[in-house]
Amino acid sequence: MRKLAYLVLLLGLVFTLNALPRNLVVVEVGTGTWCPYCPGASMGCHDLLINGHPVAVIKNHNGDSYANAYSNARNNYYGISSFPTAVFDGLNPISGGSNTSSMYNSYLPRVTARMNVPAKYTLSAEGSASGNNYSVAVTVNKVEADTNTNVKLHAVLTESGIQQNWQGQTILDNVNRLMVPDQNGTAINLNTGEQTTVNLTFAFNNAWNMANCEMIFFLQNQSSKEILQGVKYSLPELVGAFPVSVENLDFPNMYVGGSHTIPINIINFRSNVVNGTIAIDNPVFTVSNNSFTIPARGSVTIDVVFTPTAAQTYSGNMTITSNLHNHPNITIPITGTGFLDNPPVAEAVSIQGPPVEYQTLTGYYEFTDPDGDEEGETTVAWYRIEDGVHVQIEFSDTTTYQLRAEDTGKQIVFEVTPYDIHGMPGETVRSQPFGPIENVPPPRNLDATVEGENTVILTWEPPQYFDRGFVGYRVFRSGLNISTITNPGTLTFTDTYVPNGIHEYTVRSLFTNPMLLSEPSNAVTVRIGVSNDDLVSNPVSVSVHPSPFKDHTQFSINAKANNEVTLEIFNLKGQLIKTDTVKVPASGVSTIIWDGKDNRGNQVHSGIYLYRLNGRDLSANGKIVKIK
């Protein structure tokens, strides 16, 4: 008895060692885009593939535009009437699905169980292509004794990545597009140890995306429906599809001295590494790399460049020599025409708009071309001048530019590089420096008049520069905001019931997007019920006009008679550059004119300057801008 048990164990071990492994499990699914529960089956098959399980998936559509004679025949063969239904190697069907949940956990045990069943056959295929006509030789080898009869070889072409909105999904995969020679298959009748080769031919439909197609071959017992062995191939890999993204290169016309680049892709559909070289017989055509290496199932991009040297038509051949399957030597014709072209010109490059932070500047230019060519993709850029250096401003490549806080005190430049319709560039031209850019401008020339005993009427002029976002004014009395005016056209305010005392008035400009408040206007001081009711401009009642200025500006000062007032002007570094002193006459009104020169008589640079007025019992300060 022990000897018999040992013999049985030994025979079982020998059988296990000799058992032929199964390549994969063929999963066929009866489905349709009309079916609300079919997404779960689709997700289940997708998860089997993504997780690396050995399956070949065939979706046999029913009742939609993807159904055909082949898919209908397979669904009828299995007697599928409930959708979705999945069968695994022709057996163990699972009906039902979900609109939102994957069937992966239901499908995986069926796949695992079938992979544990040994095979008795091997399958392999080789193919070739001639245009859209494909030939495939399928070799079937019966390695071990097998009791199955009525065996047929089936060949199925599937396509994936089809864009389709269906039941909350957007893609269809593994769609049964074709069976070769048809849905009936090819009969296989072999003795143990014999093999046969089945030659199949078919025409590929160009409406299908070859890169997303597979060929699946399987042997099936037509009576029991059990699939005995299966194998799958990428269709491009199987037939040795043309591995270059183009079959010829026809460059667009290019001006002499210019160049045009066309990228091409070379694809390795197989599992071996590909090495190759590229040669072109005309020097006006060049490539970015003369040699290449492509990993298994990878690709490489090569740039082909056309650089004409004369006004004529060129032709040549690009030869790709490699170990690409079925394509060791590829010749791609190349053509291109060169022509003479004169560069375009950008003229009258300028900037318009308010030189104020957060306001919008517009760059202008005139495009002309000596050949009468239309304008192409002209490029523009904006710069700010920092310490004499033009610094390009990021993300400023349109003809409008919204000034930023960091532009304040600096000049802005607009740059244009004209291009004609052929891509010929002209000389880059820059505008004259614009600015310097100021803070949001205050109202100008504030004045005050006292009426009656305690009413003050204020008048002013609008800020010198404003465009977008200017919404009004805020009025201040002795530092307290007493009114917000939301109409920029209102240029007066009446303050009533003003208490006795000395009061200082200022007005500020109000802007939005972003919300900003300007510096105060010139200040005016009035006396209510003190010594008289007249307007008294105190030391901070100073107006400066014009500002910005080019040649000179005038400081108008209202102060007490015989008061000595000193004007000091500083640059933004805090350095004192100019001083002047004036004695206020009996009228109480005095002026100081600054010609833009420093104490040494040198003309100062354009920019922002600060001024300070000092005198007995008085002080005032503000900002002025000098431009070129």
Whether residues 351 and 333 share a domain: the answer is no
Tokens of 106: 């239901």
Distances (CA, A) of 588 to 445, 582, 591: 17, 12, 10
Asked if residue 410 and residue 265 are part of one domain, the reply reads no
Q: Using CA atoms, how far apart are residues 329 and 521, in angstroms rounded to an integer? A: 82
Residues 409 and 545 in one domain: no
What confidence category does residue 311 fall into, taking pLDDT thresholds of 50, 70 and 90? very high
Identify the residue with better confidence: 325 or 588: 325
Specify whether 329 is located in the same domain as 357: no
Percent of the residues in the chain that have a pLDDT greater than 90, as a whole number:
71
Question: How far is it, in rounded angstroms, from Cα 156 to Cα 151?
Answer: 16
Does 435 map to a domain?
A: no
Average pLDDT, the chain: 91
CA-based torsion, 236, 241, 243, 248: positive or negative: negative
Residues 206 and 256 in one domain: no
Please work out, in degrees rounded to the nearest 5, the angle formed at the alpha carbon of residue 122 by the alpha carbons of 121 and 124. Answer: 150
User: Can you give the CATH number for the domain in which 355 is found?
Assistant: 2.60.40.2700
Decide if pLDDT at 136 tops 50: yes
The whole-number pLDDT of residue 608 equals 85
pLDDT at 519: 84
Which residue from 58, 215, 24 is spatially nearest to 135, judged by alpha carbons? 215
pLDDT at 312: 97
| Whether 475 contacts 481, CB under 8 Å | yes
Same structural domain, 107 and 255? no
Chain mean position to CA 377:
18
Both structure tokens of 433: 């420096």
Backbone angles phi, psi at 112, to 5 degrees: -60, -45
Identify any residues that bridge with 568 across adjacent strands, giving them in sequence order.
579, 612
Its domain, for residue 599, covers: 444-626
Please tell me the total count of domains within the chain: 4
pLDDT digits (tens, 9 = 90+) for 387-430: 999 999 999 999 999 999 899 889 999 999 999 999 999 999 99
pLDDT for residue 579: 94
**110 and 180 share a domain?**
yes
Q: Phi, psi at residue 432, to the nearest 5°?
A: -65, 150
CA–CA distances in Å: residue 460 to residues 278, 507, 517? 77, 8, 16
| Region of poorest pLDDT, from 20-34, 133-147, 366-380, 585-599 | 585-599
The yes-or-no verdict on residue 7 having pLDDT over 80 is no
405 within 8 A of 596, measured Cβ to Cβ? no
> Which H or E run contains 235?
helix 235-239
Choosing from 317, 339, 361, the residue where a domain stops is 339
Q: Give the list of residues 6+ apart from residue 581 with CB closer than 8 angstroms, or none.
A: 564, 565, 566, 567
pLDDT at 539 over 50: no
Other C-beta atoms closer than 10 Å to the C-beta of 96 total 14
pTM attached to this predicted model: 0.60
Q: How far apart are CA 210 and CA 159, in angstroms?
A: 8
CATH number of domain containing 117: 2.60.40.10
More confident residue, 330 or 440: 330
Regarding predicted confidence, which is higher, 409 or 538? 409
The residue type of 321 is T
Torsions phi, psi for 110 (to 5 deg): -65, -40
What would the mean pLDDT of 79-92 be, rounded to a whole number?
97
| Domain identity same for 35 and 137 | yes
Inside any domain, residue 437: no
Could you tell me the two tokens for 371? 């050949």
Q: Which of 339, 372, 397 is the last residue of a domain?
A: 339
pLDDT band (50, 70, 90) for residue 530: low
The residue that leads in pLDDT, 78 or 210, is 78
Query: In this structure, is residue 555 part of a structural domain?
Result: yes
Q: Do residue 304 and residue 364 come from a single domain?
A: no
Do residues 394 and 320 both lie within one domain? no
As a whole number of angstroms, the distance between CA 517 and CA 513 comes to 11
Indicate if 308 and 388 belong to the same structural domain: no
C-alpha 580/C-alpha 357 separation (Å) is 31
| 350 and 325 co-located in one domain | no
6 part of a folded domain = no
Residue 27, both tokens: 């999963």
**Given 339, 359, 389, which residue is the final one in a domain?**
339
H helices of 51-103, in order, are 69-78
Quick one: pLDDT at residue 587? 64
Cis peptide before 585 (omega within 30 of 0): no
601 pLDDT exceeds 50?
yes
Residue 14 domain flag: no
Strand-strand pairing, 254-255 and 329-339: parallel
The amino acid at 156 = V
Residue 299 has what pLDDT? Answer: 93
pLDDT in tens, 225-275: 999 999 999 999 999 889 999 999 999 999 999 999 999 999 998 889 999
The pLDDT of residue 538 is 44
Evaluate whether residue 473 is within a structural domain. yes
Percent of the residues in the chain that have a pLDDT greater than 70, as a whole number: 94
Q: Which residues contact 340 (CB under 8 A, 6 or more apart)?
A: 255, 256, 311
β-pairing, 607-615 vs 618-626, is antiparallel
In a domain, 439, yes or no: no
Is residue 41 within a helix (H) or strand (E), and if so which, with residue range? helix 38-50
**pLDDT class of 145 with cuts at 50, 70, 90:** very high
State both tokens at 455.
């009413």
Residue 83 lies in a domain: yes
Query: Per-residue pLDDT for 12 more than 50?
Result: no
Helix (H, G, I), strand (E, B) or coil at 384: strand
Mean pLDDT of 176-191: 98
More confident of the two residues 368 and 441: 368
Where in 48-167 does DSSP place strands (E)? 55-61, 85-88, 91-95, 121-130, 133-142, 151-159, 162-166
* pLDDT tops 90 at residue 14: no
